[in-house]
């Protein structure tokens, strides 16, 4: 993957919960989803764009949105703090050009 082929990117929050000494710990890590012409890359997985059926989002609160990747493996949910509209529109434009 060449960075020059990057079409769009969005930052999401990966939340890890654990119990340590009887106390719940929550660790939030910023990660990115990168959209290229043929592949979509998250911190944990890579998808061929042809295996991503759709991307949608819903406002969760005043400052948080839930971004949904509809893939051949099911629906994956990502918590994002920025408006995902530009990312979603870029994906939909790419899919409409390819199909």
Query: What is the pLDDT at residue 98?
Result: 58
Q: Is 66 exposed, middle or buried (0-12, 13-18, 19+ CB in 10 A)?
A: middle
The neighbour count for residue 70, using CB atoms within 10 Å, is 13
CATH topology for 3-98 is PH-domain like (2.30.29)
SS3 label, residue 91: helix
Query: What is the pLDDT at residue 97?
Result: 72
Please give the model's pTM, rounded to 2 decimal places. 0.84
- Nearest alpha carbon to residue 68 among 12, 7, 8: 12
Rounded Cα distance, 71 and 31, in Å? 19
What is the pLDDT confidence band of residue 61, given thresholds at 50, 70 and 90?
confident
What would the mean pLDDT of 63-71 be, rounded to a whole number? 94
pLDDT digits (tens, 9 = 90+) for 14-55: 999 999 889 999 999 999 999 999 999 999 899 999 999 999
């Amino acid at each position: 993957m060449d960075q020059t082929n990057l079409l769009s990117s969005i930052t999401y929050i990966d939340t890890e919960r654990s119990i340590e000494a009887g106390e719940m710990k929550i660790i939030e890590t910023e990660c990115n989803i990168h959209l290229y012409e043929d592949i979509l890359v998250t911190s944990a997985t890579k998808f061929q764009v042809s295996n991503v059926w759709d991307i949608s989002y819903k406002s969760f609160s005043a400052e948080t949105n839930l971004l949904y990747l509809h893939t051949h493996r099911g629906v994956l949910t990502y918590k994002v703090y920025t408006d995902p509209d530009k990312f979603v529109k870029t994906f939909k434009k790419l899919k409409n050009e390819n199909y």
